[in-house]
Amino acid sequence: MPPSGRKLPIAAVALALAVLLAGLAILLLDSDGNGGEATSPEETGPETEPPAADGTQAEIERAVRAYIAAVNSRDGERVCRLLVRGAERELDPPRERQGCGPTLSASIGYADPRGFPVWERTRIVHFVSIKPADGSGRATVEVRHRFADRPTPSIEDDVIHLVRRGDRWLVAKPSSTLYRAIGVAEIPLSALKPPSG
């Protein structure tokens, strides 16, 4: 009969590994450290990488963070100021009001009666890439969307196209984050493509 002393270390290692994996799963589900609740509407997540070294890249990063923060705060007027004029026409918002700002304010967080996910907020996990070009740019950002009716967040890459207007960077077209925020379940492929003209 083999000695039972050898089974104890294997069982202890297996138990420790199970505890470690459970802890890791909890961290992956909600790594923002505060129970999944944003500390303010402006929150777009902690810095996960140092600011971009290139000045243009840093400006694009700030513009993207401002855009996500405006969507999170449900401030339609601010979102519209961060979009190129007329870019909101690509959307089919569920609640039409007089003008871009009131329409987006009324539509962000919309609970579709067909049972589509109800968006709560989006958090930037990290910037995958920032690619400036001549007067334009593209940021690919890993984001975590929280939905009111789902226990776990949804993670995806949001491709955000920007253009330079004077000394500002503006979002050239609605990205998947804005589509998710107004309750669109299927993001149109056009949201990923660079703006025409």
Residue 139 lies in a domain: yes
User: Does residue 43 fall inside a structural domain?
Assistant: no
Is pLDDT at 119 greater than 50 in this prediction? yes
Asked if residue 142 belongs to a domain, the reply is: yes
- Residue 45 covered by a domain: no
Burial environment of residue 111 by CB neighbours within 10 A (0 to 12, 13 to 18, 19 or more):
middle
What does the pLDDT look like over 145-182, one tens digit per residue? 999 988 999 999 999 999 999 999 999 999 999 999 99
CA distance to 4, 13, 21, 43, 187, per residue, from 9 (Å)? 10, 6, 18, 45, 51
Over residues 80-99, mean pLDDT: 94
Cα–Cα distances (Å) from 175 to 127, 142, 147, 156, 184, in that order, read 15, 12, 17, 12, 11
Q: Is 117 helix (H, G, I), strand (E, B) or coil?
A: coil
Using only C-alpha atoms, what is the Rg of the chain?
Answer: 21
Among 122, 107, 112, smallest CA distance to 158 is for 122
Report which listed range, 20-34, 78-92, 104-118, is most confident: 78-92
Within a domain: 8: no
Q: What is the pLDDT of residues 13-51, one digit of tens each?
A: 555 555 555 544 444 444 443 334 343 434 444 444 444
Question: Per the structure, how many domains does the chain have?
Answer: 1
Using a cut of 0.85, tell me whether the model's pTM lies above it: no
18 occurs within a structural domain: no
> Distance between CA 47 and CA 61 in Å, rounded?
11
Of 152, 146, 145, nearest to 25 by C-alpha is 152
Q: Is residue 61 part of a domain?
A: yes
Write out the residue range of the structural domain in which residue 181 sits. 55-186
Residue 36 is assigned to a structural domain of this protein: no
CATH of residue 159: 3.10.450.50
